Amino acid sequence: MSDPEETQLEARLAEQEAFEPPEEFVEQANVSDPSIYEEFEENWPECWEAAAELLDWESDYDEVLNDDDEPFYEWFTNGELNASANCLDRHLDDRGDETAIQWEGELGETREFTYAELHREVNEFAAALRDLGVEEDDVVTMYMPMIPELPIAMLACARIGAPHSVVFAGFSADALATRMNSAESEYLVTCDGYYRRGDALDHLSKANEGLGGVDHDTSTVVVDRLGDELEHELTDDQHDYDDLVTEHVGAEVEPVTRDAEDMLFLMYTSGTTGKPKGVKHTTAGYLSYAAWTSHAVLDVKPDDTYWCAADIGWITGHSYIVYGPLALGTTSVMYEGTPDYPDKDRLWDIVESYDVNQLYTAPTAIRAFMKWGSQYPEQHDLSSLRLLGTVGEPINPKAWKWYYKHIGNESCPIVDTWWQTETGGMMITTLPGIGTMKPGSAGPPLPGIDARVVDESGDEVAPGEAGYVTVNKPWPGMLRTLYKNDERFINEYWQEYSDPDADDWVYFPEDGAKIDDDGYITILGRVDDVINVSGHRLGTMEIESAVVGVEGVAEAAAVGGDHEMKGEAVYTYVILEDGYEEGEEMAQSIIEGVEEAIGPIARPEKVIFTPELPKTRSGKIMRRLLEDIANGEELGNTSTLRNPEVVEDIAKKVRGD
């Protein structure tokens, strides 16, 4: 787009603060009656039967919600079902020949699985897992990139009643070992490698390194993704995926009947203590909520081709690549690679090639698209798109309007969704067939979700004032606990704004926000010690532990700083031990140490050496001030510090004075 055209766009859209959903979209939307908000409020919690009705049940549930033991809520009590059967078996008669997963590799190769073919592959691998000794309730870890064998393995585990724990492929060997030890997982499914920007990456060596840190015996299945690109040898306790499946060709495994509250999967997420938290999601509540939000918010229909451009290693991929779309019987697109390889129009080529109807991606990606320029989407026919979505972090109004104009052609509603690993699915967003869209604001809470913005005392703030998000009623997709740590579950999520002597439990997700006169909530960012890099939550303690693990480092503090592409980037402030010199070599050692311990996603944007860190008189590091420095903002009150003089010294270093 030429500069005059860009200027014209800005002039036309800059003043517009609200956008109505297109009439053509409303006419076909899955949910278009505004009375749904009132109906859900008046009929709560029975309103959530609407989610349960999207599933097939082997045994009916007795009640929608059991709240006898708050906050250990139970949903659809005594109901029985199987998640794999709901995503596969029940679609075979009507959609067996329709595409379930459309996969595209980074090098351009494609694989297509109809529901019948996916059903067959899942059955064969489920039989193989059983032969390896996997039993009901055994946790199976998956350390895999975006290849079809990942959702196949997830659904195979669900079929035999074995919870899965997916570890993002970009995480380090140590991260894998930590999660397998925490889950007491004796089984791993991984691969030899995968492609990034055309290069074949060795993943198995990293997996093997991680297995070396697991403190119990393990059995591993290895998918051969790279073929002749990477020779690899398997040990006695490792098995080739293709060989196992070949041994079980044609096998059929009866889906194991699971109780509504049985665990479907674990997902580890960063915590403020540095020790990852194993978030437990259950079969009925999670699956029904993923299906309902896919239906109501993403407007997914069985005959759609739907694309969530996330990674299954994160909760977004679980809910909105695998379980939600497949439960609804639609076609879900998977892409292995990066959005700019081999060129910056790769995503738009995929949209055009498969006639994608919905695109759900992150503001990080949208900011990159903006930077690259509108000439790339303009090379492709994007008219198949009906709905756009964003996930992972707040999207600024400028990026929202660019997305709306250049990708949606001003004819696609945008759902800006706020939610977390712990919530299982979307919580705050507009319903695209009903709600007015306000760029920069996620929107109102979904029907049936009691989200509020409160002050430090728990009282609701006035419109326009900043506060904290709370959720005041349970919801089906919620986490049930932290794996084998009920006490931490209560302490981290439920004790803020709660009276221990009252049945008044409030979920506190630790996000700052403000609310307007229409009840629209704008998320302002984290209020805990977690950094949100490109939508991925990283604990500051985990990063600081990695930095201090580098030889020569005495102490460190990690904070998030504003970043044009990532949203937030990692800034590390480092004190060295005597005898070690500041400089590029030491900074590089620290960067490498963080990447090895956590993964490239946590790579520090900048390493700042300092003889001291700003601390309160009780010895607590004032990260707020370090964030102000990283962002070049005016420094806040330093009167509570025991060493206020150090703040300006650090700021000068960051500025390069």
pLDDT digits (tens, 9 = 90+) for 402-422: 999 999 999 999 999 999 999
Q: Measured between alpha carbons, how far is 90 from 93 in angstroms, rounded to an integer?
A: 7
pLDDT at 555 exceeding the cut of 90: no
Q: Predicted confidence band at 3 (pLDDT cuts at 50, 70, 90)?
A: low
Q: Predicted confidence band at 498 (pLDDT cuts at 50, 70, 90)?
A: very low
Report how far apart, in Å, the C-alpha atoms of 17 and of each of 23, 147, 388, 433, 438 are.
19, 40, 18, 18, 6
Q: Which of 364, 352, 247, 254 has its CA nearest to residue 307?
A: 352
Residue 83: φ, ψ to 5°: -65, -40
Q: Which of 560, 571, 573 has its CA nearest to residue 615?
A: 573
Mean pLDDT of the residues in the chain: 91
pLDDT digits (tens, 9 = 90+) for 125-136: 999 999 999 999
**Consecutive H or E run containing 165:** strand 164-168
Q: Predicted confidence band at 618 (pLDDT cuts at 50, 70, 90)?
A: very low
Q: Predicted confidence band at 52 (pLDDT cuts at 50, 70, 90)?
A: very high
pTM of the model: 0.85
The mean pLDDT of 432-458, rounded to a whole number, is 93
pLDDT at 502 exceeding the cut of 50: no
pLDDT at 574 exceeding the cut of 50: yes
Give me 304's structure tokens: 């759609």
pLDDT digits (tens, 9 = 90+) for 451-493: 999 987 888 989 988 788 999 999 999 999 999 999 999 988 8
Torsion of CA 644, 649, 655, 656, to 10 degrees: 180
Q: Answer for the pair 641, 614: CB distance below 8 angstroms, yes or no.
A: yes
pLDDT digits (tens, 9 = 90+) for 307-362: 999 999 999 999 999 999 999 999 999 999 999 999 999 999 999 999 999 999 99
Domains of the chain: 1-82+257-527 (3.40.50.12780), 112-255 (3.40.50.980), 530-655 (3.30.300.30)
Give me 417's structure tokens: 């969704």
Q: Predicted confidence band at 617 (pLDDT cuts at 50, 70, 90)?
A: low
The mean pLDDT of 423-440, rounded to a whole number, is 96
| Pairing relationship of beta strands 187-191 and 110-114 according to DSSP bridges | unpaired
pLDDT digits (tens, 9 = 90+) for 58-72: 999 999 999 999 999
